[in-house]
Amino acid sequence: PLHVISVQPTDKPTKASFAKNIVAITPPSATGQYGVKYTIDNDAGGTSSSFVRVTVDQQAPLAYSIVAEGSSFFSSSTGADG
C-alpha cells in the first residue's frame, strides 16, 4: 500500500495537512492558483512526489468535492476547483 508521508504548500496562504492518508487542502479565498506538494511511500521503501494545483475563481459556479475511487485526496473548498 501507499502512504502519504508529507504535504507542503508551495505558497504561504495555502494550508495543507494529512492524517491517515487523507490530504486536506485549504486555499485562500483570493482568486488565483495555489499548490501543494505531496510525497508518498510504499512498503518497499520507494517514494514519489507530485503536486496538486487548486484554482480559486470568485466567478466560478459552486462545485462539489471531487474524489476518485481509491484516492486519498479531496478538495472541499466552496468555489474552488481541485
pLDDT at site 72: 54
Residue 67 has pLDDT above 80, yes or no: no
pLDDT in tens, 11-41: 999 999 999 999 999 999 999 999 999 999 9
For the cut 50, the answer to whether the pLDDT of residue 80 exceeds it is no
The answer for residues whose C-beta is within 8 angstroms of residue 71's C-beta and 6 or more apart is: none
Q: Which residues pair with 71 in a beta bridge?
A: none
pTM of the model: 0.70
3 state DSSP class of 66: coil
| Cβ atoms 80, 52 nearer than 8 A | no
| pLDDT tier for residue 69 given thresholds of 50, 70 and 90 | low
End-to-end Cα spacing for the chain:
24
